[in-house]
């Protein structure tokens, strides 16, 4: 880092710390020291401050020592010719800047104007952190670009954004150049902004970039298992695991330099499009921290190179961009050129296993009109994917079929919802104008199937039918196949299969966690069922899913088996001795952090509550989901609490040792509705067909006292069961 940059960073840091002090003082005068301070729906307080110092800022008065720390960190303000700053002082100034910026943003939540306004999203809550952060862990997103300022024009902004999306990066935007921000340029050009498209506009001012670092800090705490206050751990996790960089567009102000110095501590370099005076570094640099004067068509490539990100080159040539970054697009009715399925035309998709001799590898056939021949914006469609391979197995059909959803969604300008014969595909006008055809769907499916499933798929052939009569005729065949598969799954019970499967995918961030996936107990993330685990084991033996055999029965009701105990002990590296599959009260399954639902005992009601991740309100344990998540996660056994997949609630084996489904006394309405069909079926089997109406929800109350009279009035079965504790 050059001396000029260091001096500028220190000046900027002083200005931002002064601003933070002023804003805090104003808030103190207006609201008093005990006024609550928080970012919405997070268990991480003000995350940068919490992560780096361990301080839980909850009220205005808690910020006083933080601002004091800023002052301590700040080196003397540089004076011309007298001061020779070096990297260390500039980095301290950078960290002071981050605390100051987080304070300034927090004061916006306290005093207004609220950071969430117009296109600006403000701080991401913990639901988003979970959903999106996991992509940083499993590699779906290699990292993020923090874009500061604005491109020279909207077209350049769009080109740059596409290039970054194509590399699956998230793009976090804040900080303006002369009244304009990159995100505004994208919005102006008609781009969809939001977490789903990975184009995340945080705010107009440079301070709002703190949300990028807040996100990175929370990733280290939640996925990296770093303890709050272990600042070296937080910074190391980010330097090694999160590929992020700052792109500075337009004139770089002192405040930007100060923020860049903060980002450097996280290992995130800055790449600028303007010339920055180059004076030889006086500090020790392991790689280039600041790269300047890079032309716009090279800047993304340069950033990727400087940060050392390895991005696989796209293997396909298609008229639109593609990749997981486009999965979350939303295509509104008005932007739709053609809709396939979704009650407007018959549509289905089917993956069929065939003999090797029956499949012509790489053949893509379209029978009937292509997308541009759609009448009145509708098109019937049958997508039939025939696969063959020496190691292919019928059980893989649904696993491969479910991936069609991802592959088609990868195309920019195309969305795919649901599956089987209830799917809906939309193609927007832009994609159509670019020349997108069903052939490209086929090429995408072919390339992905061959690369992702090369161990079992030797040949793939794809047929699209778009004549309504033909689609209807073939749909019968597809429905027979779906029904046969469903019957197979329904007939499977824990007692009729030989083996269960482990899942240790989440050990990347919860090192001792292991899920046991059984036919009647889906993985707690809700996305790995027994078939998936079995297929994954065959697709990649020795991977995260390996078979477990029960061995000697220790207790059938609790679901305790010698073989499982042994496996769990090994996989948890000796931290667990025993595991009961069907109890949450005694040696329950551990939770990594991905659970869809948390179960928790409510002793006053002799029952259990189930709360889903989306429910942000209070629950009768006196804790919100996010608080309980902090207690339950991390791969420990927490008797009385357990994270589960939501469909486990409808299983016959649902906490059978603790009284089963009838123990549930409270759940949010949203969860009730989501699972209604399955819950009603189970309740009828248990002889209480109106059971759902006897479960309290947030309308009845959010404390044990509030719901007890309701449970009594309804004669809730849990009240007369054996004591749960």
Which residues would be at the binding site for Zn ion (CB under 5 A)?
506, 592, 594
Dihedral sign (CA 403, 407, 410, 414): negative
Q: Using the rule CB under 6 A, give the single segment among 325-333, 377-385, 517-525, 685-693 that binds ligand SF4.
A: 517-525
CB of 250 to ligand SF4, least distance (A): 42
Q: What angle do CA 106, 110, 115 make, to 5 degrees?
A: 60
Taking the least distance from each CB to ligand SF4, the nearer of 51 and 523 is 523
Take residue 252 and report the two structure tokens written for it.
């770089």
- Pair 462, 365: CB distance under 8 Å: yes
d(CA 304, CA 250): 20
Q: Using the rule CB under 6 A, give the single segment among 219-227, 502-510, 620-628, 695-703 that binds ligand SF4.
A: 502-510
CB of 510 to ligand SF4, least distance (A): 8
Residues 6+ apart with CB under 8 A from 660: 654, 686
505 touches ligand SF4 (CB under 6 A): yes
- Pair 50, 123: CB distance under 8 Å: no
Taking the least distance from each CB to ligand SF4, the nearer of 427 and 517 is 517
Total binding residues toward ligand SF4, as defined by CB under 6 A: 12
d(CA 578, CA 586): 9
Taking the least distance from each CB to ligand SF4, the nearer of 189 and 492 is 492
CB of 506 to Zn ion, least distance (A): 3
CB of 508 to ligand SF4, least distance (A): 9
Task: Single out the residue of 146, 234, 351, 592 in contact with ligand SF4 (rule: CB under 6 A).
Answer: 592
Answer with the entry of Zn ion, ligand SF4, none that 246 interacts with (C-beta below 5 to 8 A by kind): none
Take residue 70 and report the two structure tokens written for it.
């800023």
Taking the least distance from each CB to Zn ion, the nearer of 209 and 545 is 545
CB of 698 to ligand SF4, least distance (A): 26
Taking the least distance from each CB to Zn ion, the nearer of 171 and 592 is 592
525 touches ligand SF4 (CB under 6 A): yes
Answer with the entry of Zn ion, ligand SF4, none that 503 interacts with (C-beta below 5 to 8 A by kind): ligand SF4
Taking the least distance from each CB to ligand SF4, the nearer of 70 and 594 is 594
Answer with the entry of ligand SF4, Zn ion, none that 156 interacts with (C-beta below 5 to 8 A by kind): none
Taking the least distance from each CB to ligand SF4, the nearer of 21 and 532 is 532
Per-residue b or e along 327-337, where b marks 16 or more CB atoms closer than 10 Å to that residue's CB: bebebeeebbb
Window 538-567: contact mask with ligand SF4 (x via CB under 6 A)? ------------------------------
Task: Single out the residue of 528, 611, 675, 696 in contact with ligand SF4 (rule: CB under 6 A).
Answer: 528
Answer with the entry of Zn ion, ligand SF4, none that 175 interacts with (C-beta below 5 to 8 A by kind): none
Answer with the entry of Zn ion, ligand SF4, none that 87 interacts with (C-beta below 5 to 8 A by kind): none
Taking the least distance from each CB to Zn ion, the nearer of 338 and 524 is 524
Answer with the entry of ligand SF4, Zn ion, none that 597 interacts with (C-beta below 5 to 8 A by kind): none
Taking the least distance from each CB to ligand SF4, the nearer of 225 and 319 is 225
Taking the least distance from each CB to ligand SF4, the nearer of 331 and 528 is 528
CB of 679 to ligand SF4, least distance (A): 22
Task: Single out the residue of 52, 388, 515, 608 in contact with ligand SF4 (rule: CB under 6 A).
Answer: 515
Q: Using the rule CB under 6 A, give the single segment among 105-113, 264-272, 453-461, 504-512 that binds ligand SF4.
A: 504-512
CB of 591 to Zn ion, least distance (A): 8
Task: Single out the residue of 67, 321, 594, 601 in contact with ligand SF4 (rule: CB under 6 A).
Answer: 594
d(CA 149, CA 270): 13
| Local structure of residue 190 (DSSP, 8 states) | T
d(CA 693, CA 660): 17
Answer with the entry of ligand SF4, Zn ion, none that 404 interacts with (C-beta below 5 to 8 A by kind): none
Q: What are phi and psi of 464, to 5 degrees?
A: -110, 130
Taking the least distance from each CB to Zn ion, the nearer of 385 and 510 is 510
Taking the least distance from each CB to ligand SF4, the nearer of 258 and 524 is 524
* Closest residue to ligand SF4 in the complex (CB): 523
Torsion of CA 491, 492, 495, 496, to 10 degrees: 80
CB of 523 to ligand SF4, least distance (A): 2
d(CA 506, CA 635): 9
| Local structure of residue 44 (DSSP, 8 states) | S
Task: Single out the residue of 90, 137, 503, 642 in contact with ligand SF4 (rule: CB under 6 A).
Answer: 503
DSSP 268-288: --EEESS-------SS--SS-
DSSP 94-153: HHHHHHHHHHHHHHHHHHSS-S-BTTB--S--HHHHHHHHHHHHHTSS-EEEEEEE--SS
- Pair 277, 1: CB distance under 8 Å: no
Q: Using the rule CB under 6 A, give the single segment among 32-40, 499-507, 559-567, 617-625 that binds ligand SF4.
A: 499-507
d(CA 469, CA 475): 10
Take residue 216 and report the two structure tokens written for it.
């990175």
Taking the least distance from each CB to ligand SF4, the nearer of 380 and 588 is 588
SS3 700: coil
Task: Single out the residue of 49, 524, 665, 702 in contact with ligand SF4 (rule: CB under 6 A).
Answer: 524
Q: Which of 40, 59, 17, 18 is nearest to 214 (CA)?
A: 40
506 touches ligand SF4 (CB under 6 A): yes
CB of 650 to ligand SF4, least distance (A): 18
Q: Max alpha carbon distance in the chain (Å)?
A: 86
How large is the C-alpha radius of gyration of the chain? 28
634: left (phi over 0), alpha (psi -120 to 50) or beta: left
Task: Single out the residue of 122, 142, 341, 523 in contact with ligand SF4 (rule: CB under 6 A).
Answer: 523
Taking the least distance from each CB to ligand SF4, the nearer of 185 and 504 is 504
CA 446 from chain centre, in angstroms, equals 27
705-712 long-range contacts, CB within 8 A, separation 24+: 705/604, 706/620, 707/605, 707/620, 707/665, 707/666, 708/604, 708/605, 711/605, 711/607, 711/665
CB of 260 to ligand SF4, least distance (A): 36
Residues 6+ apart with CB under 8 A from 462: 363, 364, 365, 383, 384, 385, 386, 442, 445, 446
CB of 1 to Zn ion, least distance (A): 39
Taking the least distance from each CB to ligand SF4, the nearer of 239 and 402 is 402
Taken as a whole, the chain contains a residue count of: 725
Residues 6+ apart with CB under 8 A from 600: 608, 609, 611, 619, 621, 623, 628, 640, 641
Answer with the entry of ligand SF4, Zn ion, none that 528 interacts with (C-beta below 5 to 8 A by kind): ligand SF4
List of residues contacting ligand SF4 (CB under 6 A): 503-506, 515, 517, 523-525, 528, 592, 594
């Amino acid at each position: 880092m050059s001396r000029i940059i260091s001096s500028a960073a220190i000046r900027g840091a002083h200005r931002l710390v002064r601003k933070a002090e002023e804003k805090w003082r104003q808030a103190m005068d207006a609201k008093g020291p005990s006024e609550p301070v928080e970012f919405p729906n997070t268990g991480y307080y003000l995350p940068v401050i919490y992560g780096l110092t361990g301080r839980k800022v909850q009220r205005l008065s808690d910020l006083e020592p933080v601002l004091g720390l800023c002052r301590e960190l700040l080196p003397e303000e540089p004076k011309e010719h007298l001061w020779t700053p070096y990297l260390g002082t500039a980095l301290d100034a950078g960290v002071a800047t981050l605390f100051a910026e987080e304070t300034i943003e927090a004061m916006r939540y306290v005093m207004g104007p609220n950071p969430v306004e117009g296109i600006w999203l403000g701080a991401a809550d913990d639901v988003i952190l979970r959903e999106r952060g996991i992509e940083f862990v499993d590699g779906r997103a290699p990292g993020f670009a923090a874009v500061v300022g604005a491109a020279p024009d909207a077209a350049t902004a769009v080109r740059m954004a596409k290039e970054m999306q194509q590399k699956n990066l998230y793009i976090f935007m804040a900080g303006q150049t002369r009244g304009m921000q990159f995100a505004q340029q994208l919005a102006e050009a008609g781009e969809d902004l939001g977490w789903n498209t990975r184009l995340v506009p945080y705010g107009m001012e440079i301070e709002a970039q703190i949300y990028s670092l807040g996100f990175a800090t929370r990733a280290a705490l939640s996925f990296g298992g770093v303890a709050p206050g272990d600042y070296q751990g937080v910074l190391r996790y980010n330097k090694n695991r999160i590929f992020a960089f700052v792109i500075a567009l337009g004139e770089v102000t002192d405040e930007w330099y100060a923020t860049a110095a903060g980002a450097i501590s996280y290992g995130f370099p800055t790449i600028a499009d303007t010339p920055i005076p180059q004076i030889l570094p006086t500090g020790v640099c392991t790689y280039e921290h600041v790269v300047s004067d890079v032309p716009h068509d090279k800047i993304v490539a340069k950033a990727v190179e400087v940060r050392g990100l390895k991005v696989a080159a796209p293997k396909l040539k298609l008229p639109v961009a593609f990749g997981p970054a486009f999965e979350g697009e939303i295509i509104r009715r008005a932007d739709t050129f053609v809709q396939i399925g979704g009650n407007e035309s018959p549509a289905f998709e089917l993956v069929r296993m065939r003999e090797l001799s029956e499949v012509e590898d790489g053949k893509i056939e379209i029978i009937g009109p292509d997308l541009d021949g759609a009448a009145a914006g509708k098109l019937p469609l049958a997508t039939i994917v025939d696969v063959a391979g020496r190691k292919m197995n019928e059980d893989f059909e649904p696993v491969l079929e479910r991936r069609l959803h991802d592959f088609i969604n990868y195309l920019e300008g195309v969305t795919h919802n649901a599956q089987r014969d209830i799917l809906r595909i939309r193609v927007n006008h832009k994609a159509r104008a670019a020349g997108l055809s069903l052939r490209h769907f086929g090429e995408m499916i072919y390339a992905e199937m061959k690369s992702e499933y090369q161990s079992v798929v030797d040949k793939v052939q794809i047929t699209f039918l778009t004549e309504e009569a033909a689609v209807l005729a073939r749909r019968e065949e597809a429905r027979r196949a779906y029904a046969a598969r469903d019957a197979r799954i329904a007939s499977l019970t824990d007692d009729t299969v030989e083996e269960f499967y482990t899942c240790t995918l989440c050990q990347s961030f919860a090192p001792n966690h292991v899920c046991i996936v059984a036919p009647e107990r889906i993985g707690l993330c809700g996305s790995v069922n027994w078939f998936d685990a079995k297929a994954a084991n065959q697709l990649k033996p020795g991977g995260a899913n390996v078979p477990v055999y029960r061995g000697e029965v220790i207790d059938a009701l609790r679901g305790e088996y010698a073989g499982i105990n042994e496996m769990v002990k090994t996989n948890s590296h000796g931290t667990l001795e025993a595991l009961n599959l069907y109890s949450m009260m005694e040696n329950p399954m551990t939770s990594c952090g991905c659970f869809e639902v948390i179960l928790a005992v409510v002793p006053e009601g002799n029952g259990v509550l189930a709360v889903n991740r989306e429910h942000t309100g209070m629950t009768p344990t006196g804790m919100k989901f996010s608080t309980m998540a902090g207690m339950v996660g991390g791969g420990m056994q927490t008797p009385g609490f357990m994270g589960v997949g939501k469909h486990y609630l409808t299983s016959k084996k649902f906490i059978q040792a603790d009284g089963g489904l009838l123990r549930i006394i409270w759940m949010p309405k949203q969860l009730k509705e989501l699972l209604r069909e399955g819950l009603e079926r189970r309740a009828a089997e248990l002889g209480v067909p109106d059971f759902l109406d006897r479960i309290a929800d947030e309308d009845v109350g959010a404390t044990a006292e509030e719901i007890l009279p309701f449970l009594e009035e309804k004669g809730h079965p849990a009240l007369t069961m054996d004591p749960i504790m």
